[in-house]
Amino acid sequence: MDFLSVNPPQDFEIVDPGYLGYLCLQWQPPLFLDKFEECTVEYELKYRNIDSEDWKTIITKNLHYNDGFDLNKGVEAKIHTLLPPHCTNGSEVQSLWSEATYWKSPQGSQETKIQEMDCVYYNWQYLLCSWKPGLGVHFHTSYQLFYWYDGLDHATQCPDYIKVDGQNIGCRFPHLEASDYKDFYICVNGSSDSHPIRPSYFIFQLQNIVKPLPPDYLSLTVKNSEEVNLKWSMPQGPIPAKCFIYEIEFTEDDTTWVTTTVENEIRIARISNESQQLCFLVRSKVNIYCSDDGIWSEWSDEQCWKDDIWKETLVFFLTPFAFVSLFVLLVTCLLLYKQKAVLKMIFQRKKEVFSHQDTFC
């Protein structure tokens, strides 16, 4: 039986369409494929960033495949042809590997790249990114930010830069239509009269960098001597209620502990029914059902309950005193009323005597 073999794909290459890291791996069918006309040819594609330990593997019948890469590093890929067993007397036939690499042409030293890039998607509505200039760069260095995600025709420059002393150190993004749950690509490059600036590339998904608003309208209700009910309103904005997780910091006198819940209400057992002060605050984050990660909101304002013992003591002593005072007042009014009636009777008798004397005269 003749030994079956198949050639590797032709013209394998990695193409950069200008989408800041979203690359196209493409190839042509192998030579002499016509003798396998009854077979459905497949291709096994492996690719990775060069410093990565793990290959990503794809089996496809197509002649291209797209994915995102970190362009701060090189890219390598390899592909070979697969013939299924039903075409080859029960054994799978593989070609040799065809390999390709891709590097962005390096420019500028590593120190000229921006530092401490930080992007936050505030309340799932407004994206803001900020950075610090590279080390040793001239203060006249001009940085530009470009971004792209699937749905945009081309990479777009930041329309609203944040500036300090005339230098771009951040970007306020416009409304990003249909950008969730997609890779979001950013490149920050620069120009300087003194030396070239090395670009920096970033990839993330917006739902994983959301920072919600803090909850508000907190309420703390002491149900009884053993239990406290904590409640708050869901943060305002477009984030669905099912997407929140809350962290509660609860303080009873000098004891503080932290717990989490996906509801906007929780009951907590008191340590002691003689505690003098109960306080809590809460913050929110997008939970694992709506994102892979997230950023905690700021803490809410603190809500407290105080057990005013001095008022209870005062009431304890004042209540009997009030009853005694009321009794004394009633007795005094009764005595005054009786005294008034006696005086009225005496006055009436004197009037009658004087009237009798006048008649006698």
Element (H, E) at 349: helix 309-360
**Placement of tokens 């932290």 in the chain:** 258
Q: Which amino acid is at 327?
A: F
Bridge partner residues of 107 (DSSP): none
CB-based contacts of 25, cutoff 8 Å, min separation 6:
12, 13, 14, 15, 45, 47, 64, 65, 66, 67, 77, 79, 100
CATH number of 13-102: 2.60.40.10
- What whole-number distance in Å separates Cα of residue 52 and Cα of residue 73? 10
* Fold match, 13-102 / 212-307: yes
pTM for this entry: 0.79
In DSSP notation, 12-48 reads EEEE--SSSSEEEEEEEPPTTGGGGTTS--EEEEEEE
- What whole-number distance in Å separates Cα of residue 190 and Cα of residue 141? 7
Bridge partner residues of 36 (DSSP): none
At residue 229, the 3 state secondary structure works out as strand
* Domain range 110-208, its CATH number among 1.10.1060.10, 3.40.50.10540, 1.10.10.60, 2.60.40.10: 2.60.40.10
CATH number of 212-307: 2.60.40.10
CA 348 to chain centre: 91
pLDDT, one tens digit for every residue, the chain (361 residues) = 356 788 999 999 999 999 999 999 999 999 877 767 777 889 999 999 998 999 999 999 999 999 999 999 999 999 999 988 877 777 788 999 999 999 998 888 888 899 999 999 999 999 999 999 988 788 788 899 999 999 999 999 999 999 998 899 999 999 999 999 999 999 999 988 778 899 999 999 999 999 999 999 999 998 777 789 999 999 999 999 999 999 999 998 888 989 999 999 999 888 877 778 899 999 999 999 999 999 999 999 999 988 754 444 444 445 665 666 776 677 676 776 677 665 566 656 655 544 544 444 3
Q: How many C-beta atoms surround the C-beta of residue 156 within 10 A?
A: 14
The domains of the chain are located at: 13-102, 110-208, 212-307
Helix, strand counts (H, E) of the chain: 1, 24
Distances (CA, A) of 220 to 217, 231, 258, 278, 323: 10, 7, 16, 8, 34
Which value, to the nearest 10 degrees, does the dihedral of the CA atoms of residues 146, 148, 152, 155 take? Answer: 40
| Sign for the pseudo-dihedral over CA of 162, 167, 170, 173 | positive
Burial per residue of 302-320, b for 16 or more beta-carbon CB atoms within 10 angstroms, e otherwise: ebeeeeeeeeeeeeeeeee
Distances (CA, A) of 279 to 218, 246, 311: 11, 16, 20
